[in-house]
Structure 1
């Protein structure tokens, strides 16, 4: 893997952690939003599962 690809992966991981942290904060702050947040998190997981093989090439 090239250095640029590794940097892009690192940035994607950092942004993903930031988004997950924001979702966790919202779920703790607004318990009624937990169900929609879980659906959104499942969507992000599916997206990551689709992107991972592309990045691995």
Structure 2
């Protein structure tokens, strides 16, 4: 693996963590919407369904 690929993977992981953390925070601030853990897991699942087909190419 080249260093460019590793750098892109690290940045993608960081963006994914920030996205899921943002969803959890949003759900935490508005608990009537959904449980924070459920929102975080759904967000991670949606992000994985978008990223994995692109990464497999």
Regarding TM over 0.5, the answer is: yes
Unpaired stretches in structure 2, ≥5 consecutive residues: none
Identify which of structures 1 and 2 has the higher relative contact order when contacts are C-alpha pairs closer than 8 Å and 6+ apart.
Answer: 1
Report if the CA contact (8 A) 1:27-1:33 is conserved.
yes
| Structure 1 runs, 4 residues or longer, greater than 6 Å off | none
What does residue range 4-15 of structure 1 map to in structure 2 within 5 Å?
A: 4-15=4-15
**Structure with the largest fraction of helix:** 1
Equivalent residues in 2 for 1:31-42, closer than 5 Å: 31-34=31-34, 37=39, 41=43, 42=45
What is the root-mean-square deviation in Å for CA atoms of aligned residues? Answer: 2.2
Can you give the 5+ residue segments of structure 1 that lack an aligned partner in the other structure? Answer: none
**Cα gap change, 1:51 to 1:18, in 2 (>3 Å):** same
Q: CA deviation at 1:10?
A: 0.4
Count of residues in Structure 1 that have an aligned counterpart in Structure 2: 52
